[in-house]
Chains A and B, each alone.
Chain A
Amino acid sequence: MKRIIVVGNGMVGHHFIDQFIQQDKMAEVQITTFSEESRLAYDRVQLSAYFSGKTADDLMMTSPEYYDDNGVQYFVNDKVVSIDKAAKTVTTAQGRIESYDKLVLATGSYPFVPPIPGKDQDHCLVYRTIEDLEDITASAKESKVGVVVGGGLLGLEAANAIKQLGLETHVVEFAPRLMAVQVDDGGGKILRDKIAALGVNIHTEKNTKEIVKGETCRYRMNFADGSHVETDMIIFSAGIRPQDELARSFDLTLGERGGIQINDQCLTSDENIYAIGECALWQGRIFGLVAPGYQMAKVAVDQIVGSGDLAFTGADMSTKLKLLGVDVASIGDAHGNADGAQNYVFTNEADQVYKKLVISECGKKLLGAVMVGEAEDYGTWLQIYLNDMDIPGAPENMLVPPAEGGAVTMGVDALPDSAVICSCLDVTKGQICAAVQDGATSIGDIKTITKAGTGCGGCSALVTQVLNAELASMGVAVNTDLCEHFAYSRAELADIIRVKRIKTFEALITEFGAGHGCEVCRPTVANILASFWNDYILEDDHLGLQDVNDVYLGNMQKDGTYSVVPRIPAGEITPDKLIVLGEVAKKYGLYTKITGGLRIDLFGAQLHELPEIWAWLIREGFETGHAYGKSLRTVKSCVGSTWCRYGVQDSMSLAIDLENRYKGLRSPHKIKFGVSGCTRECAEAQGKDIGIIATEGGWGLYVCGNGGMRPRHADLFATDLDTDTLYKYIDRVLMFYIRTADRLQRTSVWLENLDGGLDYLKDVVINDKLDLNAELESAMAENIANYQCEWKTTIESPEKLLRFKHFINSEESDTAVQFVEVRDQIRPATPAERAGQIAVLEVS
């Protein structure tokens, strides 16, 4: 058995270890890993997601249990400080000595901080680890202005982060443009304009001379050209340096400018020591991306326990990312350095889009590309580049599709089986197709079987295309029929009902369905009808369709009694109304509880009591809370700027307004809102379908969050909105959800299944990609105009009240309903208690 020590448990170190586990090779080795950090490997690529709500736990790539289960020995908070190459041992800071047969250095890199006087003060930070992010968050709480030094990829990510934390944000860059490595002059200009338009201040060609005490802020940064900027905090993101300290101290060959030199087998100058990931230098190059590191890990594993045939042959450094919401992509030779290369450039200043193709002298091959502002074609172009394919048609038509004859597209069919679709996990088109042949039918299946798409996620669009193309070629049609009575999906039925203006279930099933209907299609259709037309749900035509709770406008409890839930918009209630609730509950002997949604539920009402209770409540100014419906439930709010000393906007008024605007809106599933008065987020808005967080500049909108069974953090949708725009966006998002979601699909799952995801939703709602917004808004306006308190309508119609009795032909009540007292309130008697073995309360 070989003893292997892995120094560093970062992304690549973990991937290396995981290869043994995945390949069932753990019996041949004894692995020990040391991490200088306080936790095991986490997803550094997704680090910035920490600021949009991901926790450290969410980012973890492994766990102590996983390592324990698979027999991996690990030590966190323990740095390896020396290597004895002759004795083949390492020593750690805590004094542990371990021996190895093979040593693997996966020590990554560290942020470079330029030697500027004043750089070591408090609130001067870097951006690399979870601890760094915690420091940044803490510092932001005491700061108003933040500067990021460095306008590269990571610098812009850091700028995004502090902007999200609510700071006035500046980027200081030494070079004349942003992202100088990946983007050319033309692209850099558009990128700069776009980012400046988002309210980030950009200072290029600035050489910071010193950091001194400031006048309006904590610090002042003086630049070589005599100008300065004042700031409370600074993040240095001026590049990374390979962590080669160990190799340097213990005589492994390094590159001239650092980096542990490796050969094609990932071996260092010592035959028992490998180096992989960002610390390794191959043919004079460091690879600052995770995919090449993963390839090195694979090679090293193969060297230690495999055939030894694999070799590292360099890696493609093409990237696509979203920086502050701006799409940026770079492929191959972005600067057009090759001999005879010809550039084709497209600039659209109005829409702020820049694209450049670098084409070979022969005019057939793609050598490189830059895209800013729009990067939809990235996947296709990358494949053409990586597979050395001929470009389809004339280069200019790739940039701007000709008016006649449609766009020059290249379906995934054209790709060879060897094309690498997911570069993070090195998965080819052939592997994905094979998985489909073996029965995979969803993107989830593909992820589980091939692991494609589980890294940076950048390939998911392409993976889906390959999946769908393969399914189509196998003749598999996915059955989305609602039930045996309708050969349509919920979204299709919604379209039919809307376009044909169908108003009843009878009309729909006669023309578009078959049979009687069931408890799947009937409530679904009732719900769609209510979403669009908002008629009274207990009309004769609709009543027989409604779900159990809707028929009696209350939630049926386990003993057949109901709960009564009046609306208390945003949880604000006067003492007088509070007293009314108490009196009602006391009179009818109801169990009373305050819910998580800031309202009060009264349990144990019998059918015949409901009309009297509601008549009383309505007289006192209450309305139905729709707790029984698939509809808007509650808008949870904090008091905001009216009372709270931190509040920056009046979250209370907004929440009440929102609740009144959308109350009664029926939707595929229940909808919850949250509104917080500042970024402290006391209302937990990011766990809601629609979440709103106040900022100095207006409102930040978050969408598609969820608590409940499968919690999901809401995604940031737009920032600094004024109230009108906020309402418009919410109108559109909700109506689009109502139109396109599946039956009983929460917004979270809907978004996850929406083709194109969050970006697509933004495109529809913000950019009106489908030319639909006017329609969505007017549909919402129609729904709002038709709002009624269903209980008010019901108590005013005597014939409807007939049904609110246990017996249609008698005034008696159900003798089986019996209660037991617990903590001075009632609860339903159990069957044993009812059978008389245990005493129960008499009820009237």
Chain B
Amino acid sequence: MITWTPIIEKEKLTPDAGVCALVNGKQVAIFFDRKTDKLFAIDNYCPASKANVLSRGLITSVKDVLTVSSPLYKEHFSLTTGECLEDEALSVPVYAVRITDGMVEVTA
């Protein structure tokens, strides 16, 4: 059964930025893109820099793919697939995210 964990009211999120949530012992990076009014969730661990920092990266679009650029060495990870655009061998898990009654919820 899928369990959704409530995290925070959507209106408390800063647009075009990320936050990190603790969900069942996992670190989940949640991003809110204002332009498309969409939420994305991927793992917070950056496999390139080996640190839990992805939520602190900048949201950027690379030829129409929405990505986060890792804050330490700037690799791009797709917000929808978790793939690293620079290095095929690297990727991060992607999680489901939704809004219920104004509350952001994720499964992980």
Taking beta carbons and an 8 Å cutoff, which residues of A are in contact with B? 484-485, 515-519, 522-523, 540, 543-548, 551-552, 556, 558-560, 799, 802-803, 806-810, 812, 814, 816, 831
Instruction: Return chain A residues, CB-CB under 8 Å to B64.
Output: 515
5 of the cross-chain contacts (CB-CB < 8 Å) are: A516-B66, A544-B59, A548-B58, A551-B17, A807-B27
Decide if B15 touches A556 in the complex (CB within 8 Å).
Answer: no
B33-83 contacts to A, CB under 8 A, are: 33-35, 45, 49-53, 56-64, 66, 69, 71-72, 74
B11-35 contacts to A, CB under 8 A, are: 12, 14-17, 19-22, 27, 30, 33-35
Question: Which of A484, A808, A810 has the most chain B CB atoms inside 10 A of its CB?
Answer: A808
A803-B19 contact given A519-B69, A548-B71, CB 8 Å threshold = yes
Closest beta carbon of chain A to B3's beta carbon, Å: 15
Decide if B20 touches A522 in the complex (CB within 8 Å).
Answer: no
Closest beta carbon of chain A to B65's beta carbon, Å: 10
**Cα separation A548 to B30 with both chains bound (whole Å):** 16
Instruction: Return chain B residues, CB-CB under 8 Å to A807.
Output: 20-22, 27
Decide if B72 touches A808 in the complex (CB within 8 Å).
Answer: no
The residue from B17, B19, B22, B62 contacting A812, defined by CB atoms under 8 A apart: B22
Closest beta carbon of chain A to B64's beta carbon, Å: 8
Decide if A515 touches B51 in the complex (CB within 8 Å).
Answer: no
Instruction: Return chain A residues, CB-CB under 8 Å to B96.
Output: none
Instruction: Return chain A residues, CB-CB under 8 Å to B8.
Output: 808-809
The residue from A540, A548, A799 contacting B15, defined by CB atoms under 8 A apart: A540
- For the complex, is B97 an interface residue (Cβ under 8 Å from A)? no
A547-B49 contact given A540-B14, A808-B21, A810-B22, CB 8 Å threshold = no
Decide if B61 touches A515 in the complex (CB within 8 Å).
Answer: yes
Interface of A is mostly: loop
Chain B residues touching A, range: 35 or more
Instruction: Return chain A residues, CB-CB under 8 Å to B21.
Output: 807-810
- Chain B residue nearest in CB terms to A548: B71
- Chain B residue nearest in CB terms to A518: B60
Decide if B53 touches A560 in the complex (CB within 8 Å).
Answer: yes
A517-B60 contact given A543-B14, A548-B71, A808-B8, CB 8 Å threshold = yes
New A-B pairs, 7, CB < 8 Å, besides A522-B58, A559-B51? A544-B14, A544-B58, A545-B58, A806-B52, A807-B27, A809-B7, A809-B21
> 6 shortest A-B CB distances, which residue pairs?
A544-B16, A516-B61, A548-B71, A518-B60, A808-B19, A560-B51
Instruction: Return chain A residues, CB-CB under 8 Å to B7.
Output: 808-809
Instruction: Return chain B residues, CB-CB under 8 Å to A802.
Output: 12
- Chain B residue nearest in CB terms to A549: B71
- Chain A residue nearest in CB terms to B71: A548
Decide if B53 touches A547 in the complex (CB within 8 Å).
Answer: no
Closest beta carbon of chain B to A563's beta carbon, Å: 14
Decide if B19 touches A544 in the complex (CB within 8 Å).
Answer: no
Closest beta carbon of chain B to A622's beta carbon, Å: 24
A803-B14 contact given A515-B61, A809-B7, CB 8 Å threshold = yes
Decide if A543 touches B16 in the complex (CB within 8 Å).
Answer: yes
Closest beta carbon of chain A to B70's beta carbon, Å: 9
Instruction: Return chain A residues, CB-CB under 8 Å to B52.
Output: 560, 806, 814, 816
Closest beta carbon of chain A to B39's beta carbon, Å: 13
Instruction: Return chain B residues, CB-CB under 8 Å to A831.
Output: 50
Decide if A548 touches B66 in the complex (CB within 8 Å).
Answer: no
Closest beta carbon of chain B to A521's beta carbon, Å: 9
Closest beta carbon of chain A to B80's beta carbon, Å: 14
Decide if A552 touches B56 in the complex (CB within 8 Å).
Answer: yes
Decide if B62 touches A556 in the complex (CB within 8 Å).
Answer: no
Instruction: Return chain A residues, CB-CB under 8 Å to B57.
Output: 548
A808-B20 contact given A560-B51, A802-B12, CB 8 Å threshold = yes
**Cα separation A806 to B18 with both chains bound (whole Å):** 11
Instruction: Return chain A residues, CB-CB under 8 Å to B22.
Output: 807, 809-810, 812
Decide if A806 touches B20 in the complex (CB within 8 Å).
Answer: yes
- Chain A residue nearest in CB terms to B23: A809
Decide if A518 touches B19 in the complex (CB within 8 Å).
Answer: no
- Chain B residue nearest in CB terms to A516: B61
Closest beta carbon of chain B to A365's beta carbon, Å: 60
- Chain B residue nearest in CB terms to A541: B15
- Chain A residue nearest in CB terms to B30: A808
**Cα separation A515 to B22 with both chains bound (whole Å):** 32
Instruction: Return chain A residues, CB-CB under 8 Å to B69.
Output: 518-519
Instruction: Return chain A residues, CB-CB under 8 Å to B14.
Output: 540, 543-544, 803
- Chain A residue nearest in CB terms to B50: A831
